[in-house]
Amino acid sequence: MSDTEETLPSFLENQVAMKNAVARAAHGLSLVEKRIVFAAISKLDSRRPQSDYLAPERRRLRVRADEYAELAGMDDLRSVYRLLREGCGRLFERYVRWVVLTPKGRKEVKKRWIEAVVYHDGEGWAEVTIATEILPHLVELKGSFTRYRLRQVEGLRSLYSWRLLEYLQSHSGGNGEQGKVTVALDEFMRALEVPARYRFADVRRRVIEPAVEELRMKDGWEIEWAPLKEGRKVKALQFRWRRSPQRDLLRES
């Protein structure tokens, strides 16, 4: 490379930003679908006003096969084309779901991620139009919200690892390098989209331990956790975490 040649920034340096309520909600996405949707979201400017994105063409975001391959850590473009096509086939029905506590009880909120989806097989790209209903949770963000670079989830093989990263980041309290949270077991399972049939032993073996290990290996997380019991039954979980100072971290605002 010559001295005058510039290195273009990697797609993985893009940022994903969303309100904490969405970061802690059930996303209803498979790992393939999440890569497509969040690769698209990373192309929004979370600092811009919502009015800038009211026109559908401003919310129509394209994800190329090579970008998906980079995020997924894949070399086989033939497999990437297949995953993009299959992921797009299901995306139109997906929604984010969270619970709001009101004086009269719990209120469940559901919002679609996208209004339209297109997959171009010949050119190898997917195009999603972010729904206007979800837009206020992704742009013109102020106060506490969750933000990270795509590089932090590059090549993750478990959806639970990605969801745990988002969940912990959303509880960082303005300091993404470290934090502590205590969460009811049922709330944690809902946020990470763990099947309701799982007992705590399943949650430990199939969800928490593999996710903690993958985040440690991939992104330098040091996570300590413990179950909290009422009698003999686990009712809550406590997490403490920090990230290696050698890792590039984009803090939550």
Q: Quick one: which of 4, 10, 2 has its CA closest to 149? A: 10
State the pLDDT at residue 250: 44
Which amino acid is residue 167, in one-letter code? Y
Same domain, yes or no: 144 and 161: no
State the pLDDT at residue 249: 44
- pLDDT tens-place string over residues 172-200: 865 556 889 999 999 999 999 999 999 99
Same domain, yes or no: 84 and 130: yes
Mean pLDDT score of the chain: 90
State the pLDDT at residue 121: 87
- pLDDT tens-place string over residues 102-129: 999 989 999 999 999 999 988 999 999 9
State the pLDDT at residue 87: 94
Are 125 and 63 in contact by the 8 Å Cβ rule? The answer is yes
Same domain, yes or no: 79 and 187: no
- Percent of the chain past pLDDT 90, that is, above it, reads 81
Task: Tell me the DSSP string of 3-52.
Answer: TTPPPPPPGGG-EEEEEHHHHTSB----HHHHHHHHHHHTTS-TTS-GGG
- pLDDT tens-place string over residues 27-85: 999 999 999 999 999 999 999 999 999 999 999 999 999 999 999 999 999 999 999 99
Both tokens assigned to 185: 């077991």
Same domain, yes or no: 133 and 15: yes
Assessment of whether the complete model's pTM goes beyond 0.85: yes
Residue where one domain finishes, among candidates 133, 151, 169 = 151
State the pLDDT at residue 143: 82
Domain that holds residue 61: 1-151
Residue where one domain finishes, among candidates 98, 126, 151 = 151
Distance CA 91, CA 114 (A): 8
Average pLDDT over residues 217-236: 94
Q: Which residue has the higher pLDDT, 4 or 31?
A: 31
Q: Quickly state the pLDDT bin for 241 (edges 50, 70, 90).
A: very high
State the pLDDT at residue 99: 85
State the pLDDT at residue 6: 56
Residue where one domain finishes, among candidates 95, 117, 151 = 151
H or E element at residue 160 = helix 159-170
- Structural domains of the chain, count: 2
Q: Quickly state the pLDDT bin for 243 (edges 50, 70, 90).
A: confident
Average pLDDT over residues 141-163: 93
